[in-house]
Amino acid sequence: MTRQALFLALLLLSSAYAFIKGGQPERIGAATLLCGASLTVFVASPFGIRFQGVEAGILIIDLLILGIFLWLSIRSTRFWPIWIAGMLGAEVVIHVALMVAPAVVPRAYMQALAVWSWFAQLGLIIATWRHQMRLTHLGVDAPWKN
């Protein structure tokens, strides 16, 4: 099974888990990550020149997703959105680093971006599991700050 197929499976499973068992912040996070991954497929450069330079479309999507997770980290009672925002911030830094040092090997650029997406999915799974644990132990898990 290819890395892309494994990631797609993880993306779908983590999103389904968050939609079924998560609270509203987890559902928003899942929808954001799912939409971001889907849109990335459409804005990436054609295969022959993909990752040869800064992927502007992917950078824009990463910035939008970063903004949503920063908003979630400010508005929700959850701690996990700031972790995913940090991962997305690392992705943005990778884009900027390629602008500064354009001689980076395209495969290294691609891998450096991709690794954070895997961690974000794992973060969403852990966040949803912790939400369920809080519900089990406390009976309630308020999603938003007053």
User: For a pLDDT cut of 70, what percent of the chain falls above it?
Assistant: 99
Of the pLDDT bands very low, low, confident and very high (cuts 50, 70, 90), residue 1 is low
What range defines the domain where residue 58 resides? 14-138
Please indicate, yes or no, if residue 109 is contained in any of the structural domains. Answer: yes
Please indicate, yes or no, if residue 23 is contained in any of the structural domains. Answer: yes
Tokens at residue 85, please?
């925002």
Angle, vertex CA 9, rays to CA 8 and CA 11, nearest 5? 60
Question: Is there a contact between 34 and 9 (Cβ–Cβ < 8 Å)?
Answer: no
Q: What DSSP designation does 144 have?
A: B
- Return the CA Rg of the chain: 16
pLDDT (0 to 100) of residue 124: 98
Please indicate, yes or no, if residue 3 is contained in any of the structural domains. Answer: no
Please indicate, yes or no, if residue 132 is contained in any of the structural domains. Answer: yes
Q: What DSSP designation does 47 have?
A: T
How many domains does the structure of the chain reveal?
A: 1
Question: What is the rounded CA–CA span in Å between residue 15 and residue 77?
Answer: 20
pLDDT (0 to 100) of residue 87: 97
Please indicate, yes or no, if residue 4 is contained in any of the structural domains. Answer: no
Please indicate, yes or no, if residue 6 is contained in any of the structural domains. Answer: no
